[in-house]
Copies of this chain bind each other. A is one copy, B any other.
Amino acid sequence: MTKPIDFYFDFSSPYGYLASTRIEAIAKKHQRDVVWHPILLGAIFKVTGQAPLTTYPLRGDYAVHDFARAAREHNTPFKQPEPFPIGTVAASRACCWIKANEHALPTLSDFVHGTFKAYYVDGKDISQVDEVLAVAEAVGLDRNDLKTALADQTIKDALRIAIEKAIEGGIFGSPITVVDGERFWGNDRLEQVDRWLSRGGW
């Protein structure tokens, strides 16, 4: 295995969800692992001066249309959720807790996919801790351990520090795929990521 692919996403980002369903197949094709990095766009937008995509006149309508169209292209189940966008701090902290626990780590990918599915397929409001705990339980994690961990300052700090590091590394949106130091922003860049890996860059 060569260097893994770093995949940055916000659980509230439709393009993050869509890309999450395809990134592992692309990585596998090139003998790479995927490292999941949940981020909070709210914290990032404070630095970049942006607002949620769907709040912009014209661009917002296009985005909502495009989310569904991009999903249909790859037959990815997708239902525009309500409420949207939402805060995803609980789900993101849960990832930090999983990363910090050797025994839980093999379930991280399942938890990421399960959380995205809960929101974008099953219409669950994953801003709510109970919904996050339900996903965790479904992938074999201990509900009570996670519940305790979500209130733990170490886990809160871990997410904050991870996001600060991401911003320092030039992460400004969701999804951003980092391959050998090159950032690729957007679900619509996955084909380019695939070509980059095939050609070894250009």
Contact = CB atoms under 8 A, between A and B. Distances in A.
A188 interface: yes
Contacts of A191: 191
A1 interface: no
A99 B59 CA distance: 28
A62 B170 contact: yes
Given A73-B195, A188-B192, A172 B50 contact: no
The oligomer's copy count stands at 2
A185 interface: yes
Contacts of A58: 44, 47-48, 167, 170-172
A124 interface: no
A178 to B, nearest CB: 11
A44 B44 CA distance: 25
26 contacts: A44-B58, A47-B57, A47-B58, A48-B56, A48-B58, A49-B57, A50-B56, A50-B59, A56-B172, A57-B172, A58-B167, A58-B170, A58-B171, A58-B172, A59-B172, A59-B173, A61-B170, A62-B170, A65-B183, A69-B202, A72-B202, A73-B192, A73-B195, A73-B202, A188-B189, A191-B191
Interface of A: 44, 47-50, 56-59, 61-62, 65-66, 69, 72-73, 167, 170-173, 182-183, 185-186, 188-189, 191-192, 195, 202
